[in-house]
């Protein structure tokens, strides 16, 4: 009996290690781009609209990965899908290092987002299978490690870009190589792990046709899409905003992004248990509403209240893990399908969102007048304002979802 318990604990520990370290690596890969983007933009001579298009194309890679990961999970099992995700991320780091032409760079960056998309689905499915008790707390805790790594990612990236080895400065290419090769660590852990749920028969799974008739699912897609667009956009645009709108140096701008992710991580770790008590949907409404208010006041208040950009992380942090907890509870036998469906549509929203932020920034600059000294500031404010608008729309759709569930007495 003791031997079985010991074996179970060892397997569970390996599963937890894969999830937690996986989220750490995921946070690094997603958020080291903040300090790197101004240099990438300079090296390849990209304007704001082209930069938005680049980020949108990479979000498309993420989307494509989400669409086929569920199929691979059924064929290969979640273990090998997870290994493949980390391997593609490590491979992209090597390719980025050698990408001195824009075509190779964009293809390498695209591959990294393929890995990110596969990892997103894989870790979400694995978490839904393992965390059957205190789901909201555990989902937020594991995603809190994503926030912790995201907190230090901009600072580590900034530091690594200045490191000189044998007379050669790593710059942003070398930084990506070093950070993405960390994916080798979870690959080794996953190879020695066993993963649950791959033995569920197809007859026990809820068909997609049935799920598509569920209005709750569609509302949850909207909540997740608006919330995640608002969350991910900060990593790509906050440093750029602070450097160009307020003339901050890279260290201070990256520091503000790190404070955002510190708030982000602490919110998940500290406030996560409250989602089980307050209720998942009500938690979504409160947190996204708070984020929207902070973002919009930060833009309107100017440089003196720039700290509100960081404070917005407290609210937006709760969206993704709380939605995953909701899915795990409402669709226990269909979580694989639901997670894939919602995250894939969320990916479409990310593609559109990044494109709109860049497009709005360029459009407003043009409307104000390229010769005007305030054109860049107004353009950046408008583009970043769209991030706050997405958080507000997340709260509104969450409220509609709550009313719908309340009428049916299905509030979770």
Q: Is 196 left (phi over 0), alpha (psi -120 to 50) or beta?
A: beta
| Predicted pLDDT at 289 | 94
Say how far residue 1 (Cα) sits from the centre of its chain. 41
Lowest mean pLDDT among 135-149, 179-193, 200-214, 267-281: 200-214
**pLDDT one-digit tens code per residue, 198-243:** 555 554 566 667 777 888 899 999 999 999 888 878 877 888 888 8
pLDDT-derived band at 396 (thresholds 50, 70, 90) equals: very high
Reported confidence tier of residue 150, pLDDT bands at 50, 70, 90:
confident
Q: Cα(140)–Cα(268) distance, rounded to whole angstroms?
A: 5
Q: Taking residues 163-174, report their average pLDDT.
A: 85
**Domains in the chain: boundaries:** 2-194+204-407
Tens-place pLDDT, residues 296-348: 999 998 888 999 999 999 998 889 889 888 888 888 777 777 888 888 888 77
Residue 95 has pLDDT above 90, yes or no: yes
| Model confidence band, residue 191 (pLDDT cutoffs 50, 70, 90) | confident
Tokens linked to 97: 């290092």
pLDDT digits (tens, 9 = 90+) for 229-239: 888 788 778 88
Q: What is the mean pLDDT of residues 95-105?
A: 87
User: Would you say residue 144 has pLDDT above 60?
Assistant: yes
The residue that leads in pLDDT, 383 or 202, is 383
Q: Which two tokens stand for residue 118?
A: 């596969």
pLDDT at 130: 79
Higher per-residue pLDDT: 200 or 184: 184
Residue 45 gets the label, from left (phi > 0), alpha (psi -120 to 50) or beta, of left
In the structure, what pLDDT confidence band is assigned to residue 101 with cuts at 50, 70 and 90?
confident
> What is the full DSSP assignment across 85-106?
HHHHHHHHHHHHHT--SHHHHH
Distance CA 383, CA 331 (A): 36
Residues 285-294 have pLDDT tens digits of 999 999 999 9
pLDDT for the residue 219: 92
Contacts of 228 (CB under 8 A, 6+ apart): 319, 320, 346, 349, 350
Is residue 320 within 8 Å of residue 227, measured between CB atoms? Answer: yes
Where do the DSSP E strands lie in 137-185?
164-165, 168-169
Q: Does residue 1 have a pLDDT over 70?
A: no
Better-predicted residue by pLDDT, 370 or 246 = 246
Contact 100, 286 (CB under 8 A): no
pLDDT value of position 15? 83
- Nearest partner of 24 among 163, 126, 138, 123, judged by Cα: 123
Check: CB of residue 45 under 8 Å from CB of residue 89: no
Examine the pLDDT at 2 and tell me if it is beyond 60.
no
Task: Enumerate the β-bridge partners of residue 346.
Answer: none
Mean residue pLDDT of the chain comes to: 83
Give me the half-sphere count of Cα atoms (radius 13 Å) on the Cβ side of residue 93: 23
d(CA 202, CA 221): 24
CB-CB contact of 26 with 123 (8 Å): yes
Angle at 341 between CA 232 and CA 28, to 5 degrees: 30
Q: What is the pLDDT of residue 54?
A: 77
Q: What is the pLDDT averaged over residues 237-255?
A: 85
pLDDT of 164? 86
Chain segment 119-137, per-residue pLDDT in tens? 888 888 888 777 767 777 8
Q: Is the pLDDT reported for residue 8 higher than 60?
A: no
Is residue 134 within 8 A of residue 275, CB to CB? The reply is no
Nearest to 160 by CA among 172, 147, 146, 168: 172
As a whole-number percent, the residues of the chain with pLDDT over 70 amount to 94
Across 35-39, 84-88, 89-93, 205-209, least confident range? 205-209
For residue 294, what pLDDT is reported?
94
pLDDT of residue 45: 85
pTM value surpassing 0.85: no
Rounded to an integer, the average pLDDT of 390-412 is 90
DSSP conformation letters of 59-90: HHHHHHHHHHHHHHHHHH-HHHHHHHHHHHHH
Q: What is the DSSP letter of 34?
A: H
Distance CA 293, CA 232 (A): 17
Quote the pLDDT of residue 89: 92
| Cα distance between residue 128 and residue 13, in whole Å | 16
The fold for domain 2-194+204-407 equals Growth Hormone; Chain: A; (1.20.1250)
Q: Which of 260, 235, 226 is nearest to 348 (CA)?
A: 226
pLDDT of residue 329: 82
**Closest C-alpha among 277, 313, 12 to residue 143:** 313
Averaged pLDDT for residues 339-365: 81
Whole-angstrom distance, CA of residue 268 vs CA of residue 275: 10
């Amino acid at each position: 009996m003791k031997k079985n318990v010991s074996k179970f604990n060892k397997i569970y520990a390996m599963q937890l290690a894969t999830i937690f370290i996986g989220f750490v690596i995921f946070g690094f890969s997603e958020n080291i781009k903040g300090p790197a983007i101004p240099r990438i933009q300079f090296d390849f001579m990209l304007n704001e609209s082209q930069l938005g298009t680049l980020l949108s194309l990479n979000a498309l890679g993420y989307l494509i990965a989400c669409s086929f990961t569920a199929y691979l999970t059924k064929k290969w099992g979640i273990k090998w899908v997870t290994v493949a995700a980390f391997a593609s991320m490590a491979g992209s780091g090597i390719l980025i290092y050698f990408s001195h032409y824009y075509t190779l760079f964009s293809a390498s960056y695209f591959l990294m987002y393929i890995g990110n998309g596969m990892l997103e689905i894989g870790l979400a499915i694995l978490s839904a299978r393992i965390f059957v008790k205190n789901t909201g707390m555990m989902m937020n805790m594991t995603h809190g490690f994503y926030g912790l790594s995201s907190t230090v990612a901009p600072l580590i990236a900034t530091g690594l870009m200045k490191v000189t080895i044998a007379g050669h400065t790593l710059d942003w290419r070398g930084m990506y190589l070093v950070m993405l090769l960390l994916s080798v660590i979870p690959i080794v852990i996953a190879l020695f792990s066993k993963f649950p749920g791959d033995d569920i028969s197809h007859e026990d799974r809820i068909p997609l046709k049935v799920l598509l008739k569920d209005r709750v699912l569609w509302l949850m897609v909207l909540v997740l899409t608006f919330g995640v667009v608002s969350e991910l956009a900060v990593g790509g645009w906050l440093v750029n905003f602070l450097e160009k709108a307020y003339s901050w140096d890279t260290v201070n701008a990256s520091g503000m992004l790190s404070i955002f992710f510190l708030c982000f991580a602490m919110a998940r770790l500290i406030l996560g248990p409250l989602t089980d008590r307050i209720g998942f949907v009500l938690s979504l409404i409160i947190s996204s509403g708070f984020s929207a208010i902070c973002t919009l006041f930060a833009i309107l208040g100017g440089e003196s209240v720039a700290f509100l950009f960081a404070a917005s992380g407290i609210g937006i942090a709760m969206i993704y893990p709380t939605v995953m907890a909701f899915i795990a509870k409402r669709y226990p036998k269909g979580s694989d399908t639901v997670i894939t469906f919602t995250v894939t549509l969320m990916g479409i929203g990310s593609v559109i969102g990044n494109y709109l932020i860049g497009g709005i920034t360029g459009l407003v600059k043009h409307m104000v007048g390229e010769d005007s000294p305030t054109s860049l500031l107004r353009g950046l404010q408008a583009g970043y304002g769209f991030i706050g608008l997405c958080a507000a729309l997340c709260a509104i759709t969450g409220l509609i979802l709550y009313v719908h569930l309340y009428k049916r007495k299905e509030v979770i």
